[in-house]
Structure 1
Amino acid sequence: MSAVLLTGAGSGIGAATALRLERSGHRVFAAVHDPHDGEILAKQSSDALSVHQVDVTNAESVRALIAEVDAALGEQGLDAVVNVAGEGVAGPLELLPIDSLRHQLDVNVVGTVAVTQLALPLLRRGTPGRVVFVGSMGGLVSVQLAGAYHASKYAVEAIADAWRQELAPDGIAVSLVEPGPVSTPLWAKAIQTLDRLPASDRYAERVDAFRESLRKASKNGASPHKVAETIEHALTSAHPRTRYPIGAAAVVVPKIRRLIPDRLFDKAAQRVTS
Structure 2
Amino acid sequence: MAATSSGWDFLDLRVLRAQTLGPSMRRIVFGGPDVDRFRSGGRDQRFKLFLPREGEAQPLVPTWAGPDWYAEWRQLDPERRAVMRSYTVRAQRPGELAVDFALHDGTGPAGRWAASAAPGDRALALGPTDADNAGVDFRLPQGTRWVLLTADLTALPAVAGIVAWLGAERPELPVRAWIEVPFERDRQELASQSTDVDVRWVARGGLPGAVLSADRLPAGTPYAWLAGEAGCVRDLRRHLLRERGFDRARITFTGYWRRGASEDELLAA
* TM value normalised by structure 1: 0.28
Greater share of strand residues, 1 or 2? Answer: 2
Greater share of helix residues, 1 or 2? Answer: 1
